[in-house]
Amino acid sequence: MKIKDTINILVNNIVKIISKWGFTKKGLLKNSKGEWYLFCQVLLILLHLIPPFPDKEYLTYPINICSIVIGITIAIKGLTIALKAFTDLGDNLSPLPYPMKESILITTNSYQDCRHPLYKGLLYISLGICIFTLSLIHLFLFISLGFILKSKALKEEEKLKMKFTEYESYIREVPAIIKNIKILDWRS
Domain ranges of the chain: 3-48+60-184
At residue 33, the pLDDT reads 76
Cβ-based neighbour number of residue 148 at 10 Å: 22
DSSP letter for each residue of 69-90: HHHHHHHHHHHHHHHHHHHHHG
d(CA 119, CA 146): 8
Q: What is the pLDDT of residues 4-37, one digit of tens each?
A: 778 877 877 777 776 666 667 776 677 777 788 8
Q: What is the pLDDT of residues 78-98, one digit of tens each?
A: 999 999 999 999 888 888 888
Per-residue burial over 100-130, b if 16 or more Cβ lie within 10 Å, else e, is: eeebeeeeeebbeebbbbbbbbbbbbbbbbb
CATH fold of 3-48+60-184: Four Helix Bundle (Hemerythrin (Met), subunit A) (1.20.120)
At residue 43, the pLDDT reads 93
- Residues 134/67, Cβ–Cβ less than 8 Å: yes
Q: What is the pTM of this model?
A: 0.85
Element holding 155 (H helix, E strand) = helix 136-163
